[in-house]
Amino acid sequence: RVVVVGSYNQDHVWSVDRFPQPGETRRGQAFATGPGGKGFNQAVAAARQGADTVFIGALGDDDLARVARALASAEGLDARWQTVAGTPTGSCAILVDAQAQNQIVLYLAANECLEAGHVQAQADAFAAAAVLLVQLETGLEPIHAALQAAPAQCLRLLNPAPVHARLDAPLLAAADLITPNETEFAELLARFAGVELAADAIAGCSDAELHALCRRLGRASVIVTLGARGCFVSHAQRERHRDSEDCYRLPAETVQVRDTTGAGDAFNGALAAELALNPQQPLRRILRHAGRAAALSTERPGAATAMPTRQQVLQRFGA
Ligand code: ADP
């Protein structure tokens, strides 16, 4: 089983030819609304890969909350919602331009009210967890609570997105695997290693340089996702993740990119599912599957709705 603790938002997505300048009005070319939020996206991604998935999150007491409950049950998620009175459900405005880049405004609202006590109350969900997956779109207290509630043999995945202002070294140290993208990796290096490195300089670093940088973030294995360039993996505890190398790079699949929103979420959710479903497989193979799921998600618009099923990944890329 995979347990995901995190955010839910209703996404509102507009397609534009290019992003408006400050003060400029541009006409949209298409509009869609659907579920999003890093936590929910990752839970849907894991469930669609076939993992028994529990999602723990918070909603307001409003119409969007009713939509959220229906969507979670349609995905077969075992959702454990905290209802927050007097606060809206999270919402998100997303612009996607002709180059498939995105700009995002996020109002977290109820997500920031998720309480540690609500997480701790789901002891039955944690008892059977093989993998715990958390991000940082809620307060940090429920994340700390989840990392503590997970049983000893459970693998703890932290997707440090976005890098929370109060993120501290003990929280990083509580994770077995952390999965920053380039921007988040640069922020973590500045905060926890005193290293100033531009996000767009990361992919150009040598493997040895990247490995040394990752090791300055503590004991966790680090997977830096590099967008269309795939990902870089750095281990501190090799045997734990069944890889024979300390560090390596994996390329991304070549796909027809339409909307990269949620690529990282697809990657993290599929990674968690694979780790839970195929615990004996080498991490390299698990990551190849996660990268394939993420690549497919970029061919479709939207966030949670863009997550591919296991069958779609296998049909497209083979086993
Ligand atoms: P985020 O969405 O969090 O910024 P990335 O952009 O690094 O994360 O993407 C996460 C993963 O999704 C990558 O490691 C890669 O496997 C896959 N991916 C992202 N963009 C592309 C792309 N253009 N083509 C193929 N795969 C992609």
As for ligand 1, residues whose beta carbon falls within 6 Å of it are: 181, 225-228, 230-231, 252-253, 255, 257, 260, 263-264, 267, 291, 294-295, 298
From 225, 231, 233, give the residue whose CB has the most ligand 1 atoms within 8 Å, as the site to mutate.
225
6 among the known binding-site residues? no
Arch. (CATH architecture) of 2-7+37-88+111-317:
3-Layer(aba) Sandwich (3.40)
Q: Enumerate residues 6+ apart whose C-beta is below 8 A from 282.
A: 242, 243, 244
CA 75 to centroid of ligand 1, rounded, Å:
23
The whole-number pLDDT of residue 241 equals 63
Q: For residue 183, which atom of ligand 1 is closest to its CA? A: 4
pLDDT per residue of the chain (319 residues) written in tens, 0 to 9: 999 999 999 999 999 999 999 999 999 999 999 999 999 999 999 999 999 999 999 999 999 999 999 999 999 999 999 999 999 999 999 998 998 788 989 999 999 999 999 999 999 999 999 999 999 999 999 999 999 999 999 999 999 999 989 999 999 999 999 999 999 999 999 999 999 999 999 999 999 999 999 999 998 999 999 999 999 999 986 555 677 889 999 999 999 998 888 999 999 999 999 999 999 999 999 999 999 999 999 999 888 999 999 999 999 999 8
d(C-alpha 192, C-alpha 212), whole Å? 14
Assess contact for 37 and 6: CB atoms under 8 A.
yes
**Residues recognised as catalytic:** 265
List the chain domain ranges: 2-7+37-88+111-317
